[in-house]
A and B are shown apart, each in its own frame.
Chain A
Amino acid sequence: MLSIPANRLFCIALLLLVVPAAATGAPVTRTLSTAEPGAGEVFTVSLSIDGVALGAVVETLPPGYTFVGTDHPEDRVLVRGQQAGFAVMNDTRITYSVRAPVSGSGAAITGTWEDFLSGAEGVVAADGIETVAMSAGERPASQEAAPPFAVLAAIAALLIAGWGGRR
């Protein structure tokens, strides 16, 4: 049986895992081809875009990761250091590839998007296990309400964590 602190930690981890991954409705969502790239491995990042006709996405890679290339038109991509900017022009998907560092890993890719016509902006939502690495503060501000299951799971996790802490 888990100890009380371990129990609480597990529940919080569950909360961080379930809520971001289950949340839907963000205009821009990121998916990785692999959750745990090997040293020096090149993996693919897909940005799914919904409802942003003219806008932009700026992705920031963790230190040590390098931008390799993209299928996005050359004249709509700008890469500087750890950042890659993409001009969105009625695109529904942008794919780019990244090389993992030879050593060290664990940080997450982060990104922001802007919709130039509506004036809306937000954080790129992460899909998949990569979201676990995000702290609560890094969760996409633009994400809409999570589905009922995710909300219930989150509440349950919080209650269990709180209950465990009082024992």
Chain B
Amino acid sequence: MKPIPILALALLLVLAVPASASTGGGIVGDADGDGVLTSAEYASATLAYLDAAYMGGTGVLDRTDIQDAAWVYTYWDGRPLTITDSSGKTMTLYRPLRRVVTFSGESLETLRSLGFDMEKVVAVDKYSHEKKTFFPECQGKANVGSVWSPDMERVLSVRPDAVFLYATISVSACDDIQKRLEASSPNIRVFRFDCFKPATYAGEIRTIASMIGRKDRGEEFASFYESTMDRIRDGTAGVPDGEKTRVYFEYWYDYTTVSAGSGYNEKIGLAGGVNPFSVGTTEYPTVDPEAILLADPEVVVKLAGQGLAVGGYAGHDPEALGAIRSTLIERPGWSSISAVKDGRVYVIHSDILGGAQHFIGTAYLAKWFYPDRFADLDPHAIHQRYLTEFQGIDFDLASKGTFVYP
């Protein structure tokens, strides 16, 4: 065995890891500052930590430092990670996310899909906090309010090193939170992701997966998501415009529909539907009841779930969704609508159409719009797999929750 030149090595180690390496921009342990934590530099950093922690040395690396160095060495190949979030902002990360605050339930859900250690989420938005069934692990976490009414004092009190905000909705509110956070602590990294838009979700999955060191899991989840969305797109690709299914989609409120620019309208289009009320100046316009009769929709879809009151993850209540459907059918004049005559009136809960689970709801829409084309598509099975395999929650759709009717 080789003898160790003890003193010389110890001195070299202490000198090799400068104090500046432990804080600020740069990877912990990157002694030469070239932006790459090599195997030798990592080993040197480890010994410097042991020297300080166990042997009475005067090194500057603490346990958090060396754990971060090990994490970067393992998951980012010893290099900083540069990402671009959905607001278009490019950031370089030198350390893993340790204390995360989410103002977006969609980002929170996506983090869980990717297998992020939920213990590292130290605070969540008020809506996620209210979802006791879906986010049971968040009940004990700090509640930071909403993007419209944030509890900034509480946010700062949990000492976050990363905060997730929306990218393209509630922009001014999120901008304001970001400014206040960055003014309070420049070390807080603010990420802007939507995690509910079909056009950007797969990319967001992969970006967030890289950030948390779960690239493989991210690829697996993104592939699962894309396989469903691609199946829907492929299934409707050959439908001529003139033959597309005519759909009246009613928002939570009676006689309120959705128009171009709304996420729900996008999903109707993805599923091959045509919304006769898509042209409008507002996202959620009120429609004349007579106009619905004149449009004679082939399919009617009613959105349920306002205020977490009925169905969804909150409770198994098919009768409640059935009652909503009955009310629709009994509206004056509706017996003459094709959708009613053909029994194609459906109720869907916003839990599976409006957020990160939009691909599940969109699969239901596609199946309702084109039952023959999507005979082999099983949204229920997709939903169950999502909950069991990716969300990791014990939720049996056979006996819990109500998401569609009939």
Chain A residues engaging chain B, CB cutoff 8 angstroms: 53-56, 58, 67-71, 73-81, 83, 85, 87, 89, 95-97, 112, 114, 116-117, 119
Contact = CB atoms under 8 A, between A and B. Distances in A.
B293 interface: no
Interface stretch (B40-48, B153-161, B315-323, B333-341): B40-48
B373 to A, nearest CB: 47
27 contacts: A54-B42, A54-B73, A55-B70, A56-B50, A69-B1, A70-B1, A71-B1, A74-B2, A74-B9, A78-B9, A78-B10, A78-B13, A78-B50, A79-B4, A79-B9, A80-B51, A80-B55, A80-B57, A81-B55, A83-B55, A87-B47, A87-B50, A89-B39, A96-B1, A116-B66, A116-B70, A117-B71
B1 A80 contact: no
A81 B7 CA distance: 10
A90 B133 CA distance: 40
Interface of B: 1-4, 6, 9-10, 13, 39-40, 42-44, 46-47, 49-51, 54-57, 63, 66-67, 69-71, 73-74
Nearest to A75: B43
Contacts of B50: 56, 58, 78, 85, 87
A116 B67 contact: yes
A80 B10 contact: yes
A35 to B, nearest CB: 21
Contacts of A119: 67
B55 A74 contact: no
Contacts of B1: 68-71, 95-97
A11 to B, nearest CB: 36
A104 B55 CA distance: 25
Among B51, B67, B70, B71, the one with the most A-chain Cβ atoms within 10 Å of its Cβ is: B70
Nearest to B51: A78
Contacts of A80: 6, 10, 51, 55-57
A53 B13 CA distance: 22
A70 B4 contact: yes
A67 B6 CA distance: 10
A75 B47 CA distance: 9
Given A53-B74, A85-B47, A117 B67 contact: yes
B10 A76 contact: no
Among A77, A116, A119, the one with the most B-chain Cβ atoms within 10 Å of its Cβ is: A116
Interface residues of chain B: helix, strand, loop or mixed (majority): helix
Contacts of A117: 67, 70-71, 74
Contacts of A77: 4, 9, 47
Contact of B43 (A87, A96, A116): A87
A121 to B, nearest CB: 9
Nearest to A118: B67
A76 B47 contact: yes
Contacts of B10: 78, 80
B64 to A, nearest CB: 10
Nearest to B47: A78
B55 A78 contact: yes
A97 B56 CA distance: 23
Nearest to B55: A80
Nearest to A76: B43
Nearest to B75: A117
A56 B66 CA distance: 10
Nearest to B67: A116
Nearest to A95: B1
A147 B39 CA distance: 38
Contacts of B3: 68-69
A76 B73 CA distance: 16
Contacts of B42: 54, 87, 89
Ranked nearest first, the 5 interchain pairs of A and B with the lowest CB-CB distance are: A69-B1, A116-B70, A85-B50, A87-B46, A54-B70
A105 to B, nearest CB: 22
B40 A75 contact: yes
Nearest to B40: A75
